[in-house]
Amino acid sequence: MNFKTYSLTLVSSLISFSVFSQNLQGLKPLIDQVLANNKAKVGIAIHNDTFTDSLIINGDYPYPMQSTYKFHLAIAILDQVDKGKLTLGQPVEISKETVSTDLYSPIKDKYPNGTTLPLSEIIRYTVAESDNVGCDIMFGLLGGTEQVQKYFEEKGYSEQSIKTTEEEQQANWDIQFQNWTKVSQANKILFDYYSNTKKLLSDSSHKFLWDTMRSTSTGKDRLKGLLPQGTVVAHKTGYSGINKTTGIIAAVNDIGVIELPNGKMFYISVYVTDSKETEPNSAKIIAEVSKAAYDYLRK
């Protein structure tokens, strides 16, 4: 074999290895096995660290966001912090009337007579603990859900809709479907936020949100559920509850950024809807998809 032939063979081998090692389509049979026997519609988006390769399953469906939209809300709030219109340290008064609600709220549980908290704590409660009172307070600070939707539309994100508050969507089962996203859109915002390629946030706001999402306490049985202990997962969950009439779950969701052993990240959004499974079994779907992606990409 002459040098030219050897060089071409080597280059060809390297290209083949690169394509094989990065080709997320090879993950699809493993994901298909996870989904095979589950009674639910599952939307999945998985992207590599550079967002140059992807696996999208059931990507055209508008999935109810539920509390995953608190990630989007936090970005919109922190944008206002970066512009000097809000500050993380500013006091936010929470009246007794505000916490006199049936909404899920660790703030309500800790401060049943109301309190005053810095905005940074409201964000932390809303994102890391999925607090619904904190969420609607933040929508109020921005002037309503339409301001969050407008922010993302102006940034070029068109495949999602943020229309209603937590109080509104939890008062009527059907209203939750007004807040929807396509799975690829959720991943694109995760990537643009984390990589900061579009400069969505300042460095300090980026770090604040990253630290907050890493401390998320909800959904431990979802993206994180089957991963090795200590794996870095910055994520946001969502859950609809169970329709008392039909027994169907409209949303068990988790979106996030996961670190691999080599230090690279991957982006994953899993939305489970129209589920006739139990909540634990619906969460298990997310955990198994996450584990399959983690194992495949760590090779």
Question: How sure is the predictor about 22, in pLDDT bands with cuts at 50, 70 and 90?
Answer: low
Q: pLDDT by residue (tens digit) across 158-187? A: 999 999 999 999 999 999 999 999 999 999
Q: Mean per-residue pLDDT for 110-115? A: 98
Picking from 238, 237, 234, 227, the residue whose alpha carbon sits closest to that of residue 207 is 234
**67 in catalytic set:** yes
Instruction: Please check the confidence at residue 106 and state whether its pLDDT lies above 60.
Output: yes
Residues 169-197 as b/e (b if ≥16 CB within 10 A, e otherwise) read bbeebeebbbbbbbbbbbbbbbbbbbbee
Q: In 10 A of CB 226, how many CB atoms? A: 18
Q: How far is it, in rounded angstroms, from Cα 95 to Cα 82?
A: 27
**16 in catalytic set:** no
Set 67, 105, 240, 275: catalytic member? 67
pLDDT of residue 229: 96
Instruction: Please check the confidence at residue 66 and state whether its pLDDT lies above 90.
Output: yes
Q: pLDDT by residue (tens digit) across 33-60? A: 999 989 999 999 999 999 999 999 999 9
Set 121, 129, 166, 288: catalytic member? 166
Question: How sure is the predictor about 10, in pLDDT bands with cuts at 50, 70 and 90?
Answer: very low
Q: pLDDT by residue (tens digit) across 217-227? A: 999 999 999 99
Residue 228 DSSP code: P
Q: Give, rounded to a whole angstrom, the gap between the first and last alpha carbons of the chain.
A: 32
pTM value? 0.92
Phi/psi for 64 (5° steps) reads -60, 125
Residue 242 DSSP code: B
Q: What percent of the chain has pLDDT over 90?
A: 91
Q: How far is it, in rounded angstroms, from Cα 99 to Cα 94?
A: 7
Mean pLDDT of the chain: 93
pLDDT of residue 197: 86
